[in-house]
Amino acid sequence: DHAPFGVCLIASGKEVGEPAVPHKVGTLAHIDRGDVPQLGMLMLEVHGGQRFRILSQRTEPDGLLRAEVELFEEKAPQAIPPAQQGLLPLLHKVASDVGLDKMPEPHHFDDAAWVGYRLTEVMPVQSLAKQKLLELEDPVSRLEILYTYLAQRKLVN
């Protein structure tokens, strides 16, 4: 029915078997394409949407997790502060390298939230570190952390 579904990082448990416990912050996923290549296997191509926080959750008899969530407020685009402008050449390079299939347009290189989300997606760090970055409500704080991390590794100036 073209409705999105929630995606959360697993806080404890496993992806298969008994229902896992998700982190409380996740994102809506919108299905772009779906296929059933063989019985019992569903292949989906999705894109992320608005972030949410789980307020309550329950497990259905079939193991499906259902939750009541509140959506994070969509904030107006915010400019990249001068101190973090050094992130932009790196993100332009990444976008060029991964191509439009992995980072589709429109690109919003002038929006602090968009830049922070895209850099967090591609960072070669543990999922929990990415989770903590994506949970931050202030996009400039996210950029400051990313800039510090990448500057320490001499990946930005």
Tens digit of each residue's pLDDT (9 = 90 or more) over 47-79: 889 999 999 999 999 888 999 999 999 889 999
CA distance 84 to 5: 33
pLDDT of 104 above 90: no
Does pLDDT of 17 surpass 80?
Answer: no
- Flag whether pLDDT at 148 surpasses 90: yes
Distance of CA 70 to the CA centre of its chain: 17
- In terms of average pLDDT, the best of 44-48, 62-66, 107-111 is 107-111
1 Cβ contact partners less than 8 Å away, ≥ 6 residues apart: none
**pLDDT classification of 16: cutoffs 50, 70, 90:** confident
The per-residue b/e assignment along 117-156, b for 16 or more CB within 10 angstroms, e otherwise, is: bbbbebeeeeeeeebbbbbbeebbebbbbbbebbeeeeeb
Bond into 106 cis (ω within 30):
yes
Tracing tokens 């394409």 back to the chain, one arrives at: 33
Whether the CB-CB separation of 133 and 156 falls below 8 Å is answered with no
Q: pLDDT band for position 101 (50/70/90)?
A: confident
